Amino acid sequence: MIPRPLTITGGLLVLPTGAPQPGNLRCEGGRIVALGDVAPNDGDEVVDARGALVAPGLVDLGVFAVDKPAFHFGGITRAALMPDQGPPLDHPARVRFAAQSGKPDMWVHPLAAATRGLEGRELAELALMRDAGARAVATGRRWIGDSGVMMRLLSYCAMLGMVVVTHAEDAGIVGSAVATAGEMATRLGLPSAPAEAEALAVARDIALAEITGARLHFRQVTTARALDLVRAAKARGVKVTAGVTPAHFMLSDLELANFRTFCRMSPPLRHDADRKAVIAAIADGTIDVIASGHDPRGPEDKRLPFADAEPGMAGAETLLPLTLTLVRDGAIDLARAFALLAGNPAALLGVAAGKLETGAEADIALVDPDRPWVVNSDKMAAAAGNTPFDRRPVQGRVTALFKGGTRID
């Protein structure tokens, strides 16, 4: 069913560059057809934004579960699903099923498993999975330790025109570590690994991407040393991009006090100097994407001794307000915030969304950037409320969401 044409009036348009501009937006056939000084046509559905931000729907790159209530609460209209599913997304039929799993009010873009069973040994059927709807290839929660396998993967994906999304921690060094080596891990007696495990993984993968000409995206880069490597590679023209989740620019390893398992992350929380380096990298363009890493985990996974608890956080609902803290702190402007949350991830996935421009898909969020609310893990829309931000006051709330020009209730 084709939706009625939609005109949103009375809002502030968050455009790809510059400050938000007063104006209207008109959608027809599921796409944006006009922006700015636009009048509704007869028969249009008209929505008064009442001064709210009119922004692109968020594109969340690298979630571990399809969790529509949490996505819609957070203003997410598209999510790239990690291949770490049961069973893994290493077969075209599974990829095709995942690609249909959220429609029509949520589009899921599966990331194909790089290797069979995500075991890091034998390449999966990447071309067939691309044809089945995979928008990129991912190594999953783990790093591929075999450099020969990684080089073949990057070469093949360069030929297919697919981005490789990789986890950046040298598994041989990390082993069973659950924390970053340092004073906090020592005091708590936690198995830990040096932060350099990330830089070593990043250095190798950048070298292989440079050799093969492949497009490489590090899903999370969380340390100053690794960010320096990404920065230098970009300056040389290597096709490398980097992401991060709000946990690594909001929190440091000091949060591990009292063995708080909701702060068990992969990669683990870092020292405060690294946290500040992440904010600097977001500000200077070294980091391209902020994603939620949404990974809802119930009490059976979290209410355990710290070293036994599963890593991850339910991040979809807090992604937008936590990113807006960077705007309020003056690190970035609103246009850059929505590039990180929507425009850049959409470009990596090759989808015509993530920006307010004519021809783009009409995935639109109305946002009150100043609306205060308190994160409450017991009341979250997510399948499980495992958030390290429980009881934290935040600002910024989605007041209405449209997918393809159709309102999501």
**Residue type at position 363:** D
Residue-wise pLDDT for 126-135, tens only, equals: 999 999 999 9
pLDDT at 106 over 80: yes
- Does 44 reside within a domain? no
**Residue type at position 37:** D
Give me the pLDDT at residue 1, please: 64
Higher pLDDT, 177 or 2: 177
**Residue type at position 304:** L
User: Band of the pLDDT at 384, cuts 50, 70, 90?
Assistant: confident
Query: For the residues 344-359, what does the mean pLDDT come to?
Result: 96
Range of the domain at 154: 57-354+373-392
User: Band of the pLDDT at 8, cuts 50, 70, 90?
Assistant: very high
Helix (H) or strand (E) holding 5: none
Percent of residues, the chain, with pLDDT higher than 90: 89
CA–CA–CA angle 194, 200, 206 (5° rounding):
150
pLDDT at 284 over 80: yes
Give me the pLDDT at residue 102, please: 81
pLDDT at 386 over 90: no
Query: For the residues 13-21, what does the mean pLDDT come to?
Result: 95
- Does 366 reside within a domain? no
pLDDT at 251 over 80: yes
What is the domain count for the chain? Answer: 1
Residue-wise pLDDT for 160-172, tens only, equals: 999 999 999 999 9
- Does 399 reside within a domain? no
Least confident stretch, 15-29, 77-91, 329-343, 377-391: 377-391
| Mean of per-residue pLDDT scores for the chain | 95
- Does 400 reside within a domain? no
User: Band of the pLDDT at 303, cuts 50, 70, 90?
Assistant: confident
Residue 331, both tokens: 């690190």
Q: Which neighbouring-strand residues pair with 108?
A: 79
The number of helix segments (H) and strand segments (E) in the chain equals 14, 18
- Does 100 reside within a domain? yes
Residue-wise pLDDT for 195-234, tens only, equals: 999 999 999 999 999 999 999 999 999 999 999 999 999 9
Residue 13, both tokens: 């348009």
User: Band of the pLDDT at 260, cuts 50, 70, 90?
Assistant: confident
d(CA 195, CA 270): 8
Residue 115, both tokens: 């290797």
Higher pLDDT, 120 or 104: 120
Q: If you count them, how many residues does the chain have?
A: 409
- Does 306 reside within a domain? yes
> Which CATH number characterizes residue 114's domain?
3.20.20.140
Give me the pLDDT at residue 274, please: 98
Residue 94, both tokens: 């599974």
Percent of residues, the chain, with pLDDT higher than 70: 100
